[in-house]
A and B are shown apart, each in its own frame.
Chain A
Amino acid sequence: MILAATTDESLARMSDLLIYSSMAVYTLAFFAHIAEWVLGSRSKVGRTAAALTARAGAATSAVTVQVKKAGGTAVLEKPQVVTRAAAGSRDVPDGPGAAGGTVKGDLYGRIAVSLTVLAFAVEASGVVTRALAVQRAPWGNMYEFSTTFSTVAVGAYLGFLVAKKNVRWIGLPLVTTVLLDLGMATTWLKTPSDQLVPALDSYWLWIHVSTAIFCGAVFYLGAVATLLYLFRDSYENKLATGGNPGAFARSVMERLPSAASLDKFSYRVNAAVFPLWTFTIIAGAIWAGDAWGRYWGWDAKEVWSFITWVGYAAYLHARATAGWKGRKAAYIALIAFGCFLFNYYGVNIFVSSKHSYAGV
């Protein structure tokens, strides 16, 4: 664990260059997404309203799913599985996505995704070169956290796309925040590449910080879905009660997945990450036990990760509690993510904590 190596200045410069380049490509991806949304709006919309009015009063609302055919030739007809939404929830089809089913919109959407892939590759190499330049995990200060953070968030998004999940609607908000994040990182949080102070020099850094960054990035995707769920849910409520939303709201909301899909997506994401977040905190406690001689000391950073954890636990509970499902649970999820963000920016910048190190 002796860090005799000094930073490699030329590699460090290359890393900076790569990060700036990725920002340029993300900007192009941003405009391509905007084009997708603008050009896609010419499509016919109104499926939601149709679904809501057609089904009002009909108890059986169903989406029919074709089940994969078994390999053999003996099976002549395959059974169909009929699924029903849980009682009490609206059964509304997902929107067609930002492209709105138009060829032109879709083309721009594909360009946007391709550019995002390219930007991701460039940004990831920027992070890797930074790691090579400093010969350690690239998570020694806030600049490095921020760059890794957005890389992982985009990576997770692309991972969902590869897994053929319906997530292209995240594209625009994601690219926008990535640009904000990188902008902040390169202007305010920029820290010259350097070695770690001894307290950070531990293999627990790899474990604890990598899982923390991963959790944050995926919680972020969950938070975007939750926020959009809230908008889409009010939109559907308005339609269901005979309201008439504005043209802009209609154009945007119609193209998003249904509120139920968004809600399910954010629940899955948050629930899947919660055990890892639990692990992150415990790993941090073990590390603190080695570094500072106590595994839990109510240090500001520890407090806020605990608050975040309790927040997400409350969210999971709320979803299992009558009267708290749906919008209320969604608000809790957003508050919990707010706590995560505060722990990252707020505690690092405004609160003095044992976790302050290496410049910011």
Chain B
Amino acid sequence: MSTTDTSGTTENDRKADEAAGAQLSTAPTEDRSETVVGGPTLGIVGWVRWFWRQLTSMRVALILLFLLSLGAVPGSLIPQTSADELKVADFKKAHETLTPLYEKLQLFDVYSSAWFSAIYILLFVSLIGCIVPRSWQFVGQLRSRPPGAPRRLDRLPAYTTWRTEAGPEQVREAALTLLKGRRFRAHTADDAVAAEKGYLREAGNLAFHVALIVMLVAFAWGQLFKSEGGKLIVEGDGFSNTLTQYDDFKSGSQFGTEELEPFSFTLDSFNGTYEKSGPQRGTPRTFEAAVSYSQGGADKKAVIRVNEPLKVGDSKVYLIAHGYAPVVTVKDGRGKVVFHGAVPLLPIDNNITSTGAIKVMDGYRDKNGKKEQLGFQAFFVPTFAGAGKGTMFSQFPALDFPVMALTGFHGDLRVNSGLPQNVYQLDKSKMTQFTDPHGNKLAQRMLPGETMTLPGGAGSITFEKEIKEWASFQISQQPGNGLALAGAVAAIVGLTGSLFIQRRRVWVRAVRGEDGVTVVEMAGLGRSESARLPEELGDLAVALTAEAPPAPQADPQADPEADPEAVPEPAEDPAEDPAPSGEAYK
């Protein structure tokens, strides 16, 4: 900043320089007339225009980018409803004073909050307001020719000159051919050839910014039209993709149920393997769900893994969780089977200690022939620590030593009470626990194949040797993924072009000097300083000297072999050298 010195620059020189350097990018010019702020003369239209110019300026875009990143922070530190509702509930319980404030600020839903939306909508309005004029400007640049040479080429970032016996027209002709051959856009204007290259930089930059908008639109589209549901399936059971079959289901506001992809699948088997030894014993290694699915036609087989969802049409089926479903048989007092089936239990820890409920809703009669319902609370471990080890929790996730503990109840399960009921829990308000003849509550730890007899001839429950596994799936349909991906690819390609391609201009001036020898001057201008620009200019110069070989130096003082580190003579200072271009290099 200390060496800026314009005292030697004539107004004309400066204008020529500015014209030559102008439009090397389509970046908006910075608004220098800040004095308008608060100006009473503005009127409504003036204010709107002022506001719009502010909004689409680089400075405001920068501030909005800042706000966007700043605004994203709280969502990563405070539990979010969209990610984990349970955690939000815990947080609310633990922080009673903060909660109302947080709720008012929408801090539990940062990414859909009004203020976060405001930031990114403003940013995207700014982006559009920026892209549209830039695109027009770019089209204009493509249709016009590179600007003519500035009067003083030696003031440009890269410069070279030599004298040649070839005539000026000949040199310009050669330069034009050379530059066009290197895919510059070039033309001759007055005494110089003007050339420009690297338009793809601007194209890439515009493509990148447009791609950001495409991605946002795809994201919004996906949110509006998506659907997502969960389903737990025991080995051997199936699922068909209709609303009623889901355990839970949510969808975007524009989603219609008729858009559900028609297909069905059956879980043939689930297979999980776990680390058997070492410090990470018990860590899952593989989860695989083998399924048969059909989409109208014949059954097809597939394996769904954690990272490999099944794709059916627009839908994807993800493997989300798994657990055990012991098979039990319940008989009434007369020995009649009233329940037989696999009962999925929910894991409560990493070693798949599981709990759940077995509900016998109808068909059961007690020993007096009275209709009643039965309920059992089940506590299941796939690998039991062993009797007397003091723990009922599972030691390993695989079925190495399965044990189930049951407690039995009879009475009214209240499934018809009209209240939604959790299938994994018993409502014991109208149930009585079975007790043995000594009055102790009935509870029994059972191995596969064992039977617990209910007291007083109330029947029995058998823990069958067969233990099934269940897997839960998430079935999602999210349109716009393809568009988002296309946007992402375009963004990367555009960005790469924008950051790696240099847009630059080269001018070649050839004029006859006073002694009749042609003076060739070449200069290059890039949007930013680059080591490659002088190099390229040097290459071009060397190539051009084939057609315009250097003539012997007329002035022995201007020695081209001078020490490259040498500090230039002050004579080069334009302040002391008012001569027009060319003359200084005689």
Question: CB within 8 Å of A: which of B317-361?
Answer: 318, 320
* Min distance, Cβ B571 to any Cβ of chain A, angstroms: 9
Question: CB within 8 Å of A: which of B533-581?
Answer: 534-535, 537-539, 541-543, 545-546, 549-550, 553, 560-568, 570, 572-575
Interface 1/0s, chain A 188-200, versus B by CB < 8 A?
0000101101110
Identity of the chain A residue whose Cβ is nearest the Cβ of B32 in the assembled complex: A322
Q: A residues within 8 A CB of B154?
A: 82
* Min distance, Cβ B18 to any Cβ of chain A, angstroms: 12
A282 and B283 contacting across the interface, CB-CB below 8 Å: no
Question: CB within 8 Å of B: which of A308-360?
Answer: 310-311, 313-314, 316-318, 320-324, 339, 347, 351, 358-359
Q: Which of B5, B8, B75, B481 contacts A303 (CB 8 A)?
A: B75
Question: CB within 8 Å of A: which of B277-312?
Answer: 278-280, 283-287, 305-309
Q: Of B56-64, B133-141, B447-455, which stretch is located at the interface?
A: B56-64
B8 and A79 contacting across the interface, CB-CB below 8 Å: no
Question: CB within 8 Å of A: which of B138-196?
Answer: 154-162
Q: B residues within 8 A CB of A192?
A: 278-280
Identity of the chain B residue whose Cβ is nearest the Cβ of A89 in the assembled complex: B1
Q: Of A14-22, A28-36, A248-256, A272-280, which stretch is located at the interface?
A: A272-280
B82 and A297 contacting across the interface, CB-CB below 8 Å: yes
A79 and B59 contacting across the interface, CB-CB below 8 Å: no
Question: CB within 8 Å of B: which of A263-294?
Answer: 264, 271-272, 274-275, 278-279, 282, 285-287, 289-294
Given contacts A81-B159, A291-B306, A358-B283, contact A55 B3 (CB under 8 A): yes
A65 and B492 contacting across the interface, CB-CB below 8 Å: no
Identity of the chain A residue whose Cβ is nearest the Cβ of B6 in the assembled complex: A59
Interface 1/0s, chain B 374-396, versus A by CB < 8 A?
00000000000000000000000
Question: Measured between alpha carbons, how far is A56 from B463 in the docked complex, in Å?
Answer: 94
Identity of the chain B residue whose Cβ is nearest the Cβ of A239 in the assembled complex: B2
Interface 1/0s, chain A 88-103, versus B by CB < 8 A?
1111000000000000
Identity of the chain A residue whose Cβ is nearest the Cβ of B156 in the assembled complex: A84
Assess whether B499 is interfacial by the CB under 8 Å rule.
Answer: yes
A310 and B82 contacting across the interface, CB-CB below 8 Å: no
Assess whether A75 is interfacial by the CB under 8 Å rule.
Answer: yes
Given contacts A75-B550, A195-B283, A358-B280, contact A59 B499 (CB under 8 A): no
B158 and A198 contacting across the interface, CB-CB below 8 Å: no
Given contacts A68-B542, A195-B275, contact A275 B76 (CB under 8 A): no
Interface 1/0s, chain B 26-42, versus A by CB < 8 A?
01001000000000000
B30 and A311 contacting across the interface, CB-CB below 8 Å: no
Q: Which of A240, A275, A318 contacts B492 (CB 8 A)?
A: A275
Q: Of B46-54, B66-74, B415-423, B432-440, which stretch is located at the interface?
A: B66-74
Assess whether A247 is interfacial by the CB under 8 Å rule.
Answer: no
Question: Measured between alpha carbons, how far is A195 from B62 in the docked complex, in Å?
Answer: 44
B62 and A318 contacting across the interface, CB-CB below 8 Å: yes
Interface residue tally on A, bucketed by range: 35 or more
A306 and B72 contacting across the interface, CB-CB below 8 Å: yes
Assess whether B105 is interfacial by the CB under 8 Å rule.
Answer: no
Given contacts A56-B2, A58-B573, A194-B283, contact A81 B62 (CB under 8 A): no
Q: Which of A80, A194, A272 contacts B280 (CB 8 A)?
A: A194
Question: CB within 8 Å of A: which of B506-548?
Answer: 522, 529, 534-535, 537-539, 541-543, 545-546
* Min distance, Cβ B90 to any Cβ of chain A, angstroms: 12
* Min distance, Cβ B462 to any Cβ of chain A, angstroms: 34
* Min distance, Cβ B162 to any Cβ of chain A, angstroms: 5
Q: Which of B25, B68, B157 contacts A86 (CB 8 A)?
A: B157
Question: Measured between alpha carbons, how far is A294 from B453 in the docked complex, in Å?
Answer: 48
Identity of the chain B residue whose Cβ is nearest the Cβ of A61 in the assembled complex: B3
* Min distance, Cβ A201 to any Cβ of chain B, angstroms: 7
B307 and A204 contacting across the interface, CB-CB below 8 Å: yes
B307 and A201 contacting across the interface, CB-CB below 8 Å: yes
* Min distance, Cβ B399 to any Cβ of chain A, angstroms: 18
B76 and A347 contacting across the interface, CB-CB below 8 Å: yes
Q: A residues within 8 A CB of B279?
A: 192, 194
Q: B residues within 8 A CB of A91?
A: 3
Q: B residues within 8 A CB of A300?
A: 76-77
Given contacts A59-B575, A194-B275, contact A275 B306 (CB under 8 A): no
Question: CB within 8 Å of B: which of A168-195?
Answer: 192, 194-195
Q: Which of B159, B283, B545 contacts A70 (CB 8 A)?
A: B545
Assess whether B495 is interfacial by the CB under 8 Å rule.
Answer: yes
Assess whether B83 is interfacial by the CB under 8 Å rule.
Answer: yes
A1 and B72 contacting across the interface, CB-CB below 8 Å: no
Assess whether A74 is interfacial by the CB under 8 Å rule.
Answer: yes
Question: Measured between alpha carbons, how far is A358 from B283 in the docked complex, in Å?
Answer: 8
Q: B residues within 8 A CB of A227?
A: none
Identity of the chain A residue whose Cβ is nearest the Cβ of B157 in the assembled complex: A84
Question: Measured between alpha carbons, how far is A81 from B160 in the docked complex, in Å?
Answer: 5
Q: Point out which of A62, A83, A286, A339 has the most chain B C-beta atoms below 10 A from its C-beta.
A: A83
A194 and B278 contacting across the interface, CB-CB below 8 Å: yes
Q: B residues within 8 A CB of A74?
A: 546, 549
Assess whether B484 is interfacial by the CB under 8 Å rule.
Answer: yes
* Min distance, Cβ B454 to any Cβ of chain A, angstroms: 41
Assess whether B117 is interfacial by the CB under 8 Å rule.
Answer: no
Identity of the chain B residue whose Cβ is nearest the Cβ of A273 in the assembled complex: B499
Identity of the chain A residue whose Cβ is nearest the Cβ of B277 in the assembled complex: A6
Residues of A whose CB lies within 8 Å of any CB of B are 1-3, 7, 52, 54-70, 74-91, 192, 194-195, 197-199, 201-202, 204, 240, 264, 271-272, 274-275, 278-279, 282, 285-287, 289-300, 303-304, 306-307, 310-311, 313-314, 316-318, 320-324, 339, 347, 351, 358-359
Known: A197-B283, A274-B499, A310-B68. 4 other contacts (CB 8 A): A63-B564, A75-B549, A313-B65, A347-B76
Give me the 5 closest cross-chain CB pairs, A-B, nearest first: A67-B538, A202-B307, A303-B76, A293-B318, A310-B69
Residues of B whose CB lies within 8 Å of any CB of A are 1-5, 8, 25, 27, 30, 58-59, 61-62, 65-66, 68-69, 72-73, 75-77, 80, 82-83, 110-111, 154-162, 219, 228, 275, 278-280, 283-287, 305-309, 316, 318, 320, 474, 476, 478, 481, 484-485, 488, 491-492, 495-496, 499-500, 522, 529, 534-535, 537-539, 541-543, 545-546, 549-550, 553, 560-568, 570, 572-575
Query: What are 6 A-to-B residue pairs whose CB atoms are below 8 Å?
Result: A59-B3, A76-B550, A198-B306, A291-B307, A307-B72, A358-B280
